[in-house]
Amino acid sequence: MRLIFREIRALPTLFAGALAVLLALSLVAPARAQITFPSAAPISAGNVIVRTQPTVTEYSGGLQSFYDENIVLYGASPDLAFILENKSIVTNSGNIVSNGKATAFTATGFGDTVLDTRYNLYETDGVGSTFRIAPYIGIDMPTGMDNVNAEVPRTLQPASGEWGTREALTSSWQTLFWNAQALIGYQNYAGSDGFQTGSSLLADAAFHYLIWPSDLDREVPSEVFASLETNYSLSAVDRMNGMAISGTGGQLWTVDPGILYSAPTWGAAFTALLPVLQQYRGPGASRYDYGFEVTFRYSFFTYHHW
């Protein structure tokens, strides 16, 4: 599923933080790049696509985040798909400065899980082209570890501990030589233990251009695409016991060039995540420097579907 949609959300989810702890530790939750939403691209009934997507992001102040997100897409019917996303491992590392003394920290553990449902609302197909619109609805489930290292603020724990919902409308226009996609979405969190991640509005777009092969008048075994994506998010400030946490919320806009190899049963991609605009609400934010994401996916078939 090379056309899996990319979304970057600004952020607060795992990295916003408890105000008192943040003040004491002089470390504020960083903006976070995350690519999750699949596009409106077709998926056959009974088709299962498994993706693993390790992502590394660097922030100002030496903070580094790594996570490996595993995604399983299942075509339940020609129009209905379920998407299960789980961060199998999340590692946040850096230095905590407390009373003028820097202490290295690492917080590693399981991340949260999201279950999405996608329905193919509109479809118009031609020879070598298709335009589709599909709404999404999903649930964020707090399945991960939100307290693996007691020395680390909750915002830097591997998981958020919050339930949440997300809704999105995606569209994709695919041809033999290029694909264009767009998404607008909204994420909301229920809060946990007095902490609440700010809700986010998401707007993404992507363009993929075929660079190999040039001859499609045969049985094509694989393709290589150049990709350029852009991800924007506008987020409300995070809160602890109702009080706004400085340096959270705001907006993040990234541009993400990449390259994608795609064969019928497997594919791989490399994408750089480059920030263009970062504005956070209040001082103290760890600024997003850059990120890299690699993706490997495998597709197989079951004959079980609705």
Partner 1 sequence: MHGFANAKLGLWLGLGLMVAQSLAGSATAADQVPVKPALPPGYGEVQVVVLGVTAPFFTFGLVKRFEQIPGVEHTSFNLKRGTADVIVKPGATVTDDDLRHAVRNASYSIGSIHWIAHPSAKAAEN
The residues binding partner 1 (CB under 8 A) are 1-2, 41-47, 54, 75, 78-79, 120, 123, 125-130, 174-176, 179, 212-213, 215-224, 261-268, 294, 296, 299, 301, 303, 305
Work out how close the CB of 43 gets to partner 1 at its nearest, in angstroms, rounded to a whole number. Answer: 6
Cβ nearer to partner 1, comparing 173 with 253: 173
Cα dihedral sign, 125-130-133-137: positive
Q: Is the link from the previous residue into 213 a cis peptide, with omega within 30 of 0?
A: yes
Work out how close the CB of 168 gets to partner 1 at its nearest, in angstroms, rounded to a whole number. Answer: 19
Cα–Cα dist 220/270, whole Å: 22
The 3-class secondary structure across 160-206, one letter per residue, is: CCCCEEEEEEEEEEEECCEEEEEEEEEEEECCECCEECCCEEEEEEE
Work out how close the CB of 33 gets to partner 1 at its nearest, in angstroms, rounded to a whole number. Answer: 19
Nearest to 116 by CA among 79, 161, 81, 159: 81
Work out how close the CB of 150 gets to partner 1 at its nearest, in angstroms, rounded to a whole number. Answer: 21
**Residue 114 near residue 82 (C-beta atoms within 8 A):** no
> Residue 249, CB half-sphere, CA atoms under 13 Å: how many?
16
| CA quadruple 261, 267, 268, 273: dihedral, nearest 10 | 80
Work out how close the CB of 211 gets to partner 1 at its nearest, in angstroms, rounded to a whole number. Answer: 12
Cβ nearer to partner 1, comparing 173 with 290: 173
Work out how close the CB of 112 gets to partner 1 at its nearest, in angstroms, rounded to a whole number. Answer: 22
SS3 for 113? strand
Q: How many residues can be counted in the chain?
A: 306
Work out how close the CB of 2 gets to partner 1 at its nearest, in angstroms, rounded to a whole number. Answer: 6
Where b means 16+ CB within 10 Å and e means fewer, 176-195 reads eeebebbbebebbbebbeeb
Where b means 16+ CB within 10 Å and e means fewer, 276-296 reads eebebbeebbbebbebbbebe
